[in-house]
Amino acid sequence: MEKKNIGFELSIYNSENELSQIERELLQKAEATRKNAYAPYSNFQVGAALLLENGEVVLGNNQENASYPSGLCAERVAVFQAGACFPDEKVMMIAISAASKKYTVDTPAGPCGNCRQSIAEYEQKQKTPITIIMRGEKGKIYRCNSISELLPLAFNNSFLGDS
């Protein structure tokens, strides 16, 4: 038997002033679009802003539905929008902001499993890491260099045979 520890490095910032200007602006756009989320059931609003290689910023926010599985998270709304409108552009970075109408979110909320898998697909397709920046309404900001750090051993097209 062999045991292996799989870990990653997480950068933690106390203030957005510690981020680069591009990271700070992207996080601010995620916060702004978060306020437009349609979240009448969970009251948990999430905004995502993606920076593409060509400099375009694509926004997304969570869209809930009374038939819960029919809703979409902010990250997938933004990633799929980028794929539809800019299919040949690489996603360089994604900023995620989360808030609740019921309590103060002071801890960064990472992407859910479905979003991690969707972002991982784009990272694999473009063969370039996607930086992830996360923050709640206030408090510390988390940054990791690749979605593969948040989703080690991800399922990908190599498991499908002829891919």
Give the active site residues: 75
User: Which CA distances in Å does 39 have to 34, 98, 99?
Assistant: 10, 12, 11
